[in-house]
Amino acid sequence: MAKITAADVNKLRKSTGAGMMDCKKALVEAEGDFDKAITILRKKGQKIAEKRADRDSSEGAVVAKINDDNTRGVVVSLNCETDFVAKNDSFVAMARQMADIALGTNSKEEFLAADFEGMTVAEKLTEQTGVIGEKIEIGGFKTLEAPFVGSYVHGNKIGALVGLSAATDVSAEVAKSVSMQVASMGATTLSYKDFDPAYVASETEARIAAIEKDNVELGRLGKTLKNVPQYISMSQLTPEVLTKAEDDIKAQLQAEGKPEKIWDKIVPGKLERFISDNTTLDHEKCLLDQRFIMDESLNVADYVTSKGDLSVTGFERVSLA
């Protein structure tokens, strides 16, 4: 029987991250053969991974990584089952190491097949499932390329990347601020121009129905009813729709007896209110149309242009939730 020394056990432990007793058992079973012991530990990980395949891995660590010239970024989440594991320093360190590897890949599949200290990333995940005893997997994987890419991660739970049209003296500041917006407000698209018309039509019908249902109860309680919008996105506000809205405003002012000479001072504000009331989907889902969290007098597009000749070219977001 091969003699298993403390140095052998420690070497295997450093190589795999497995516990001391698991390493010793693997070395004993492998009769001191280091490579065979690693195989034994990986097989253990595979068995545990199979048993825990259906478990929910909603905890973990989100990490963003940007290349040296700020033209490419990646944001990934290393998921586990419990907050206890997610907060472990070695787990977070592994997530960061994986983000470094992910930065050089173009897809989740390519990333999982990439080398991680002599094994693939996928094999490392399986190994660590055996070591930690929880389901460990890559949840989110997003990359972004642009003339300038910045990032922001909130509490290791939400990560965002933002691409800008140019690298200027303020690009780092702007990219971080807009990345914070993405992380906080959860936009799903850059602009209302990107919406599918069928999606907008479906959302319009659903939202109007929900408001009308609420108004039935509000009316029963004698409370102020909610405004029922005709539309929910700027993509629906065609020139014809806006012209009619302006005509309706003027007709209302005439009916109220307002002198025509002051209409020019009133109409723009009322038309702006009409647009605001009828673009709620844009305010929620479109990054450029959202109110900027650091200055709600601006939308995100206005904030970016206020910083010079810049525009947002794209964004990505990864969240554990």
Do residues 32 and 4 lie in contact, with contact meaning Cβ atoms separated by under 8 Å?
Answer: yes
Q: Which residues lie below 8 Å from residue 33, measured CB to CB, with a gap of 6+?
A: 2
**Would you say residue 99 lies in a domain?**
yes
pLDDT at 264: 94
What are the structure tokens assigned to 28, written together? 């004993």
**Domain CATH number, residue 19:** 1.10.8.10
Instruction: Tell me the helix, strand and coil percentages in the chain, rounded to 5.
Output: 55, 20, 30
pLDDT at 93: 94
What are the structure tokens assigned to 15, written together? 């190589």
Dihedral angle sign, alpha carbons of residues 239, 240, 242, 243? positive
Residue 121 sits at the vertex; the CA angle it makes with 120 and 125, to the nearest 5 degrees, is 120
Q: Indicate whether 229 and 199 sit together in one domain.
A: yes
Q: Indicate whether 201 and 306 sit together in one domain.
A: yes
The number of angstroms, rounded, from the C-alpha of 109 to the middle of its chain's C-alpha atoms is 19
Distance of alpha carbon 200 from alpha carbon 185, whole angstroms:
20
Regions of the chain with pLDDT less than 70 = 1-2, 16-19, 45-53, 321
Rg (CA), the chain: 28
DSSP state letters, 251-281 = HHHHHTT--GGGHHHHHHHHHHHHHHHT-HH
pLDDT at 122: 92
**Would you say residue 285 lies in a domain?**
yes
What are the structure tokens assigned to 11, written together? 């070497």
Instruction: Find the domain containing 16 and state its range.
Output: 6-41
198: enclosing H helix or E strand: helix 197-220
Q: Indicate whether 260 and 156 sit together in one domain.
A: no
Upper half-sphere CA count for residue 216 (Cβ side, 13 Å): 5
Residue among 287, 35, 257, 255 at smallest CA distance from 160: 287
pLDDT at 48: 64
pLDDT at 49: 58
pLDDT at 53: 66
Number of structural domains found in the chain: 3
pLDDT at 168: 96
Summarised one tens digit per residue, pLDDT across range 5-24 is 888 777 777 776 666 777 77
Do residues 95 and 139 lie in contact, with contact meaning Cβ atoms separated by under 8 Å?
Answer: no
pLDDT at 237: 97
Q: Indicate whether 87 and 36 sit together in one domain.
A: no
Q: Indicate whether 155 and 202 sit together in one domain.
A: no
Q: Indicate whether 68 and 152 sit together in one domain.
A: yes
Residue whose entry in the numeric block shows the structure tokens 């029987």? 1
pLDDT at 128: 85
Distance of alpha carbon 291 from alpha carbon 299, whole angstroms:
4
Residue among 89, 271, 302, 65 at smallest CA distance from 181: 302
Q: Indicate whether 98 and 17 sit together in one domain.
A: no
DSSP state letters, 47-93 = HHHHHTTTS---EEEEEEEE-TTSSEEEEEEEEES-HHHHT-HHHHH
